[in-house]
Amino acid sequence: MADWTVEYLPDCAGRTVVVTGANSGIGLAATRALAAAGAHVVMACRSVDDAESEREAILEEYPAASLTVRELDLADLASVRAFADRLEVSSIDVLCNNAGVMAIPRSETADGFETQFGVNHLGHFALTGLLLERLRAAPAPRVVTQSSGAHAAGEIDFDDLHREDDYGKWDAYAQSKLANLLFAYELDRRYADELTSVGCHPGYAATNLQYRGPEAEGSRIRLAVMKLVNAVVAQSAADGALPMLYAAAADGFDGGEFVGPDGLLQMRGPPAEQESSERSYDEATAERLWRVSEEATGVTFP
């Protein structure tokens, strides 16, 4: 097949897709593409106002699109549970665990987790568990979990998961992105007969994600540098969304795959299956992380 683009996205009519972080960046680009393909997309977002504005913009472009905005704050397990309780769908065909934060100063979620680990991994772990029965109700459900090339530098520090003793913003980010893949692969091993779980990464895409760290630190110089790099080097958010869209809708996935850009240094280019780091395939670490995540979130998978 030629390089996979959004034009290859199959007809998604009758399918329900939940996308976290759907109001900006890669999540918004994926939402627009899925809605254009006929899916009913649940935009799961912390900022409902921003999501409603983007929903209206998509409807102007695609008047027949089916979009629902629901509040979801992955930094608050009460919000995650409320989202699952209030979600008025009987089945979910695809769950895109996409939202995240990157390289921010140390802070904690409402439940006392280090924010990057809490939002990027634990929030999505809990969400997936709470939605599992509705995923099981779909004929061929998929869970797509967004990681990053930074996962290769990650290591799960079970003695200091929340980096209370030694915090480095990039180390914490890499740990959370490795956790995303360990979770995606373990989910596939545990539920391979009932769903397809795939990991992905966007390469280097120009989104607001790169700005949050400099903004939180109040660094105008770093913010200016990131904006310049995004403008010169990065691919668009729409191109960055292609690996997630490919993992969510393309044929040929058995589960346990990892999808990313197939271009220079895996930072840009068409989506293709790739190998992730050796640590990401460590089953003992994945099982331990699963147990720790259930204990931390109070969400036990059926």
Question: H-type helices in the chain, by residue range?
Answer: 25-36, 48-61, 77-86, 115-117, 124-136, 169-191, 209-217, 220-232, 237-240, 242-249, 283-297
The three-state (H, E, C) secondary structure of 49-83, written as one string:
HHHHHHHHHHHHHCCCCEEEEEECCCCCHHHHHHH
CA distance 189 to 72: 27
Nearest to residue 72, comparing CAs of 27, 34, 1, 123? Answer: 123
**Which among 205, 171, 184 is positioned nearest to 128, based on CA atoms?**
184
Are the C-beta atoms of residues 117 and 174 closer than 8 Å to each other?
no
Distance CA 72, CA 63 (A): 25
Q: Which residues are the active-site residues?
A: 173
